[in-house]
Amino acid sequence: MEYHNPVLLKESVDGLDVKPDGVYVDVTFGGGGHSREILKRLGSEGKLFAFDQDKDAFKNKIEDERFTLINENFRFIKRFLRFYGVKQVDGILGDFGVSSHQFNEAERGFSTRFDAKLDMRMNQGDKLSAYEVINEYDEEQLKKLFYAYADLKNAPKLARTIVSERKNKPIETSEQLNEILKPLLFKGKENKILAQIYQAIRIEVNQEIEVLKEFLLQTEELLKPDGRLSLISYHSLEDRLVKRYIRSGLFEGEPEKDMFGNIDVPFKKVNGLIVPSKDEIQQNNRARSAKLRVARKL
């Protein structure tokens, strides 16, 4: 099972400040790289729980009595930790985005490189796939999606073209979709724009923004005082949510001040933004857009 090097491995696990007897959660298990590093730093009393909704990730399961892998979306983190009798933890790590494995499995339909059925579901049991988004969303929904999740100026044109083309026959594969969109892509930037379009569809299919918000809102209650949050994002939408939540406990607007002008916030950032080194980016292209933020629960 080909899973590439975990991104910002040392930095993100350092961010957790692992205590040997602590309880930690890796909400994006994937190939298990971050989990293995956390286990190395835990003593015999420590515990690690990991989440992954993709059944493929179970082929990488770690045999270790301190480790539990939960086959669920991390939006349900509180519910499933409760099931294991865990109310509070010492640290939570998340590495958002798509694993190299998912990109490299042609039939999953995540990549612009392969001709595959339009799918893009991280959880193969979900009803909504890229096929439904492309063939059933109306023009307005598609336009909003390309604006919001890919920041594409020609979103109206993209939406109009898809809706008009699918009247002839359903758009079933990535190759068909790429052909339809080709005339609308700026010369020399075709691959970049296609990747943005696919990203927007993927975010919609997997409800990535809603999932991230639901998850973040649970971290405040789940973390013990001084507990750590160590989160890696790959696009500005996610990073903005993480940054705002760490700063103010909110996703928009400003927190209320008390009569002395102080604001009551749940977290304090531990250091500035951390990005991969040039070396890491050379070895692992997927790291190029990664941003790590670490916070401590007050």
Looking up tokens 């480790």 gives: 67
**E strand residue ranges, 249-290:** 267-269
CA 43 vs CA 18, 21, 57, 67, 126: distances in Å: 10, 6, 25, 12, 37
What is the separation of C-alpha 291 from the centre of its chain, rounded to a whole number of angstroms?
A: 12
Instruction: Please check if 74 is assigned to a binding site.
Output: yes
> Do 81 and 59 touch, CB atoms closer than 8 A?
no
- Tokens in use for 293? 């933020």
Instruction: Please check if 17 is assigned to a binding site.
Output: no
Instruction: Please check if 151 is assigned to a binding site.
Output: no
Instruction: Please check if 32 is assigned to a binding site.
Output: yes
> How many other CB atoms sit within 10 Å of the CB of residue 101?
20
> Do 24 and 16 touch, CB atoms closer than 8 A?
yes
Looking up tokens 């299919």 gives: 205
Instruction: Please check if 141 is assigned to a binding site.
Output: no
Instruction: Please check if 253 is assigned to a binding site.
Output: no
- Tokens in use for 179? 């052909």
Instruction: Please check if 95 is assigned to a binding site.
Output: yes
Q: Which residues participate in the annotated binding site for S-adenosyl-L-methionine?
A: 32-34, 52, 74, 95, 102
Q: Which residues participate in the annotated binding site?
A: 32-34, 52, 74, 95, 102
